[in-house]
Structure 1
Amino acid sequence: MAAERSQDTERDAILSALRPVVDGIVATFGAMCEVVLHDYRRPEKSVVAVAGSVTGRAVGGAMSEIGMRVLARGDEAADDLNYVTRTGSGQLVKSSTMVLRDSAGAVFGALCVNVDVTAVNQAEALLGALAGPPPASAEPPVTAFGNDIDSVVDAILDAHRLGQTQTWAGLGRTERLELFRSLDEHGVFAVRRAVEQVAARLGISRASAYSYLSQARAATDPTTNEGHA
């Protein structure tokens, strides 16, 4: 118990030290920049400090699906730098997510920098059109940002269901397991009550959802197949 209190005190101190950094980065880079400080000890209310307004985050808000993936990876999580995504409203955002660790190396939060590069991308497209046909490029993925965890989980579920005309009853066992495996990889089930929420959306029982999750994890865990080669 004393060790846990000491660990929490250390983590609180790290977060407190980073709060002025949040404001300082946005003051330096201006209105197109947003910095969000996360405390993953409370996933549903992980945002403890925010400056700027690119994704509409607010203190007390939930983590995004990017944070869910970090949470799911635990202490194996690594920094994800200079990636591009798109918000639900169409903004093109260049981001970096830097994980926070305590002195024992345990991941407990993240410092995220988001820069709205929509205007820059539009200018680049215009210059490219003037210079000649631009090379084909992959469309950045849409990322679910929200201030409550339920809306983020719903957005991830909606994205996974896009293009699928079948109902849950119409999916085969392999497709069902793939859906749960993909949701698990996105960190959805690292969030409290997410299994119940997914079950409700799919119209299945909580027991069935837990069963499919267990089977999906077993199918991707190489240790479960040892001795069967």
Structure 2
Amino acid sequence: MAAARARDAERDAILAALAPVADGIAATFGPVCEVVLHDYRRPEGSVVAVAGSLTGRAVGGAMSEIGMRVLARGDEAADELNYLTRTDRGTLVKSSTMVLRDSTGAVFGALCVNVDVTAVGQVHTLLGALAGLGAGPPEPPTTTFGNDIDSVVEAIVDAHQVRQHRGWAQLDREERLRLFRDLDARGVFAVRRAVEQVAGRLGISRATAYSYLSRSRTATGPAPDGGTA
């Protein structure tokens, strides 16, 4: 118990020290920049500091699916630097997610820097068209940033459904297991009440969702019953 308290105190101190760093980074880059500090001990409300307002999040807000993916990897997580994504409002964002570790090497949070590069992307497209260079780079994925963890979970489930072009009833057993494996790998089930929420989004019972999650983690045994809620 004493060791756990000491570990939490160390993590709290690291987060407290990084809060003014977040302010400094955002001030340096100006209104196109947002810096978000996350404490993964509270996945449903991981945001402990925000500088800037690019994604509209506030202290106490939820992590995005990017944070869920890092959380799912646990201590094996690595920094994700200079990747492009797009908000659901169409803003093109260049981001870096840097994991935070305590003195034992355990991952407990992240410092995320987001920069609005929408104008840069538009100029790149224009110059490419003028130079006759053809199609530009692939469209970056859309990421849901929000203060509500439920909206983030729902967006991940819905995106998977769109990629499949089919609903739950049209999926075979292996596709259903793959769906749950994918959601699990992306950290969805690290969130409290996520299984119930996924079940509701898919139109299945909570028992069916728990059964498929269990089967997806073992990849053995007969197919669970596919009832609806």
In the alignment, what sits opposite 1:43? 43
| CA distance in structure 2 between the partners assigned to 1:10 and 1:182 by the alignment | 33
For structure 1, the 5+ residue unaligned runs are 221-229
- Distance, in Å, in 1 between the alignment partners of 2:121 and 2:165 is 34
Residue 86 of structure 1 corresponds to 86
Kindly provide the amino acid, as one letter, of the partner of residue 206 in structure 1: R
1:134 aligns with 2:134: yes
Q: Deviations over 1:9-59 (max 9, x none)?
A: 100000000010000001101110000000011111100000111111111
Tell me the residue number matched to 1:169.
169
Relative to structure 1, the CA distance from residue 185 to residue 20 in structure 2 (aligned partners, 3 Å threshold; closer, same or farther) is same
Q: What is the DSSP-based 3-state SS (H/G/I as helix, E as strand, rest coil) of the residue aligned with 2:23?
A: helix
Shift of 1:133: 2.7
Which residue type is aligned with residue 89 of structure 2?
A: S
Whole-angstrom distance in 1 between the partners of 2:168 and 2:150: 20
Task: Report deviation, 1:165.
Answer: 4.8
Figure out how many residues of one structure are paired with residues of the other and give that number: 220
Instruction: Tell me which residue corresponds to 2:227.
Output: none
Task: Please state whether the residue corresponding to 2:218 is helix, strand or coil.
Answer: helix
User: Following TM superposition, by how much is the alpha carbon of 1:167 offset from its aligned partner in structure 2, in angstroms?
Assistant: 3.3
Once the 2 structures are TM-superposed, how far is the Cα of residue 219 of structure 1 from its aligned partner?
2.8
SS of 1:114's partner is strand
| Number of the residue aligned with 1:123 | 123
Cα deviation code 1:80-121 (max 9, x no counterpart): 000001111111100000000000111000000000100011
Q: Does 1:197 align with 2:197?
A: yes
- Output the CA distance in 2 between the equivalents of 1:134 and 1:96: 28
Aligned residue number for residue 157 of structure 2: 157
TM-score (structure 1 length as normaliser): 0.92
Q: Deviations over 1:172-214 (max 9, x none)?
A: 1111111111111211111111011111111222221111112
**After TM superposition, what 4+ stretches of structure 1 lie above 6 angstroms from structure 2?**
none
Retained in 1: the 8 A contact 2:47–2:60?
yes
CA distance in 2, matches of 1:37, 1:103: 18
What is aligned with 2:60?
Answer: 60
Displacement of 1:170: 2.4
Shift of 1:163: 4.9
Q: Which whole-Å CA distance do the structure 1 matches of 2:199 and 2:174 have between them?
A: 17
Tell me if the contact between 2:161 and 2:167 (Cα under 8 Å) persists in the aligned partners. no
Give the superposition deviation at 1:169.
2.2
Letter in 2 for 1:211: S
Offset of 1:138 from its aligned partner? 1.4
- Secondary structure of 1:162's aligned partner: helix
More divergent stretch after superposition (208-217 vs 72-81): 208-217
Distance apart, 1:137 and its partner CA: 2.2
Distance 1:163 1:40 in 2: 29
3-state DSSP of counterpart to 1:14: helix
Tell me the residue number matched to 2:7. 7
Aligned residue in 2 for 1:23: 23
Contact 2:40/2:46 (CA < 8 Å) preserved in 1?
A: yes
Q: Give 1:136 shift.
A: 4.3
* Residues 96-105 or 156-165, more deviating: 156-165
Distance 1:31 1:136, change over 3 A: closer
Q: Measure, in 1, the Cα distance between the counterparts of 2:181 and 2:77.
A: 18
